Amino acid sequence: MIPETLDEWGAYISRLEGEELWSKAIAANTLEFVQVLQEEGFEPSEIAQILIMFGQQFTLTDQAMPMDMPGQYLSYPALLESVGA
């Protein structure tokens, strides 16, 4: 199933951990992924929320976040800091 709403994205992300979380979060944090979400009708604030959910999942699963990856769209730690999470 491909998530189609913010609630579905939240449910999907909440099941991720370990290597699967890491790889999905890296793939989600690219300009290409953001463009796909825009084409699917997501607003910029909703896209930011999806990325925040990925960042929060790292915190919830006590994992280090990917940083300084090639093609990175946003910094997960900086994004979470900007929303006080």
69 sits in the region (left: phi over 0; alpha: psi -120 to 50; else beta) called beta
User: Has residue 67 been placed in a domain?
Assistant: yes
- Model-level pTM? 0.91
User: Has residue 36 been placed in a domain?
Assistant: yes
Give pLDDT tens digits for 68-83: 878 788 889 988 999 8
Neighbours of 62 (CB within 10 A): 7
pLDDT at 1 over 80: no
Q: How far is CA 42 from CA 19, 33, 46, in A?
A: 27, 11, 6
- Tell me the residue range of the domain where 50 lies: 6-82
Q: What is the pLDDT of residue 83?
A: 87
Q: What is the pLDDT of residue 71?
A: 79
User: Has residue 1 been placed in a domain?
Assistant: no
User: Has residue 19 been placed in a domain?
Assistant: yes
Give pLDDT tens digits for 12-65: 999 999 999 999 999 999 999 999 999 999 999 999 999 999 999 999 999 999
* Total domains in the fold of the chain: 1
76 burial type by CB count under 10 A (0-12 exposed, 13-18 middle, 19+ buried): buried
The amino acid present at 54, given as its one-letter code, is: F
User: Has residue 29 been placed in a domain?
Assistant: yes
